[in-house]
Structure 1
Amino acid sequence: MLPKSKTKPKAHLNDLTALVYGPSKIGKSTWCSHAENALFLATEPGLNALEVFEAPITCWDDLLQACAEIAEGKHDFKTIVIDTVDNAYRMCADYVCKKFKIEHESDLGYGKGYALINNEFQRVLNKLAFLPYGLILISHSHERDIETRTGKHTRIVPTLPDKARKLVTGLVDLILFCDLDMKTGDDGKPIYQRVMRTKPSPNYDAGDRTGRLPEMIPLDFPTFLKAFNQTAAGSAVSAARTKSEPATTAKPQTKE
């Protein structure tokens, strides 16, 4: 049971778990549709313009059934996309309420219903994340007022309830915020480019545990994949060179 050697960093994108979030219609689903052998677990309409493998998910039981079939491995999919994880969480809440025959999660007493929902939600996401496939969770974004010791400021975050959002952001390897970057053109007029932001900021949630990505990258999957793979290849070459170089021994200092 206990390991005999250290695990190596995951080299491929379809070994990782990512949260992709941003405003509606910015291109999140389109970006995810280019992931390798992607299967969409579609919890809401919105894929009509895309040619993708889609499993409609209308309730939590549907999601559990899809997860069971994915875990069996009798398919060619390499990336699982939950679009959106926000709706999946609401389905989980409905499932728990129905199971305990209550109208609302607060009916089970202080905090108990919410804890049951979050536990079930985390259980299923963890199971998916441990499977040998990439996992991408899509969410929308909204602005929240954040209280700090220095005052109040606005921060853009995924549209999940606080505890569910913390579960998701703690689980994933990548938090990718889809946004519009504004520059001024030669004529003085603003030019907008759709981008992904990958590094933490006081103004939005983002993060990259791999350390491979630039702070901002165009919202274009081939460009993203090229940057991700180039950095991985460069790290591998650097490690190989370091391993092959002979160790140097410092000469002992002599006293004058």
Structure 2
Amino acid sequence: MNITTGRIPKAQKVVLYGVEGIGKSTFASQFPDPLFIDTEDSTLHMDVKRFDKPTSWTMLLQQVEYVKINRPCQTLVIDTIDWAEEICKKHLMAANGWNAIDAEGYGKKFVALAKEMGTLLDKLSEVIDVGINVVVTAHAMLRKKEEPDEMGAYDRYELKLEKKTAPIVKEWSDNVLFANYKTTIITDSKTESKKATGGQRMMYTTHRPSWDAKNRWQLPDELPFDYSQIAQAFEVATAGVGQPLVTEAPQPFPSPVDDVPLPEPQPDFSPDQRGEIPPVVPQGLADLMRNDGVSYEEIMQVIYVGGFMPQDTPAENVPIDLWNYLASNWASALGLLKTQIRNF
């Protein structure tokens, strides 16, 4: 048995949520060497590293897997997780033929949603395990909190997620930070009239009846909303953790004056070289095809060999439900392609 004492540095799981427009994305961009999975185009005005915007649930999970395997950053940012949840909803609706995610059937759809979101959190934990921090941003929403009769009900800020999803995100995180504008009410002593003033951006780090928050860095309950306020605590918690992989820099081709023959160009078999993906293929599926090097001709062979449509059916006659089914079951489609089509 091994017994240790003292602090053990590790990569951190941070949830940062706040009201609209307060600067969540900018705050997240100040964590060490961030790479964004931008689900809502909130970083287009920022000079940051980002993946292509995920257009399907499968694509989003693949991006997280890429970070785990290749370690291209020190911090992975999901911006925002409530928009990621919307992508997850569309995935489940397409895969199950649902018109909506609602409480029908004793809430089984919400249970399925929470389970699928749990899959994302599990993958993010695997990113943590290889020493990469994960920052998850979210919008805030006011929700009525019902207490026993003697206490009544009141409004409180929570993550803008479904009721079964929000708790597992909070439980998964090491730190939940809430950002809001602090407003001071001034009362005129003569007229008893009240006026709101201030509007300073603040960050709240501990739970209160009016909001969810927690932290394991021993932060003050209330801080100005600025990364410098948590930088030292974050560095202490992660000291020596999360260095990106160092790869050998590509060597330049020899100069022609060296009289050394240049290497023969190799053919490029990416989808763009083997044929453009026509617009009839939905964007989400087209993105998955590009990510995995699947051409338009190959995806049509998946449809034919898989028995979904007769041979030589034009793409224009493929129903949208079938395109969505392929995107939702992309791993199976790739398996069919690799075992029964590319091996021919």
Q: Select 2:17's aligned residue among 9, 14, 21.
A: 21
User: 1:57 is paired with a residue of what secondary structure?
Assistant: coil
- For the pair shown, the structure with the greater C-alpha radius of gyration is 2
Q: Quick check: 2:37–2:76 contact (8 Å CA) kept in 1?
A: yes
Question: How far off is 1:88 after superposition?
Answer: 0.6
| Structure 1 residue ranges without an equivalent (≥5) | 234-256
Q: Deviations over 1:35-93 (max 9, x none)?
A: 11111101102212211111112221210110221121x24301111111001111112
Q: Select 1:126's aligned residue among 111, 122, 125.
A: 122
Identify the range of structure 1 (219-228 vs 106-115) with the bigger mean alpha-carbon deviation: 106-115
Kindly provide the amino acid, as one letter, of the partner of residue 96 in structure 2: F
What is the alpha-carbon distance in structure 1 between the residues aligned to residue 6 and residue 218 of structure 2?
15
Q: Quick check: 2:42–2:79 contact (8 Å CA) kept in 1?
A: no
Corresponding residue number in structure 2 for 1:50: 46
Q: Deviations over 1:228-248 (max 9, x none)?
A: 447999xxxxxxxxxxxxxxx
Corresponding residue number in structure 1 for 2:208: 201
Question: How far off is 1:30 after superposition?
Answer: 0.2
Per the alignment, do residues 18 and 107 of structure 1 end up closer, same or farther by CA in structure 2, a change over 3 Å counting? closer
| Structure 2 residue ranges without an equivalent (≥5) | 187-194, 240-344
Question: How far off is 1:102 after superposition?
Answer: 2.7
What is the alpha-carbon distance in structure 1 between the residues aligned to residue 122 and residue 210 of structure 2?
28
Per the alignment, do residues 7 and 112 of structure 1 end up closer, same or farther by CA in structure 2, a change over 3 Å counting? farther
User: 2:22 is paired with a residue of what secondary structure?
Assistant: coil
What is the alpha-carbon distance in structure 2 between the residues aligned to residue 161 and residue 85 of structure 1?
11
Corresponding residue number in structure 2 for 1:11: 9
Kindly provide the amino acid, as one letter, of the partner of residue 204 in structure 2: R
Is the counterpart of residue 71 in structure 1 residue 72 in structure 2?
no
Corresponding residue number in structure 2 for 1:147: 146
Q: Quick check: 2:178–2:213 contact (8 Å CA) kept in 1?
A: yes
Q: Deviations over 1:210-239 (max 9, x none)?
A: 142111111111232135447999xxxxxx
Q: Quick check: 1:212–1:232 contact (8 Å CA) kept in 2?
A: no
Q: Quick check: 1:213–1:228 contact (8 Å CA) kept in 2?
A: no
Question: How far off is 1:99 after superposition?
Answer: 1.6
Q: Quick check: 2:71–2:132 contact (8 Å CA) kept in 1?
A: no
Q: Work out the percentage of aligned pairs sharing the same amino acid.
A: 27
Corresponding residue number in structure 2 for 1:138: 137
TM-score (norm 2): 0.60
What is the alpha-carbon distance in structure 2 between the residues aligned to residue 115 and residue 7 of structure 1?
40
Per the alignment, do residues 107 and 127 of structure 1 end up closer, same or farther by CA in structure 2, a change over 3 Å counting? same
RMSD over equivalenced CA pairs, Å: 2.7
TM-score (norm 1): 0.79
- Structure with the higher fraction of residues in strand conformation: 1
What is the alpha-carbon distance in structure 2 between the residues aligned to residue 29 and residue 58 of structure 1?
20
Q: Deviations over 1:154-204 (max 9, x none)?
A: 11111111111111111111110001123589xx99333211100110011
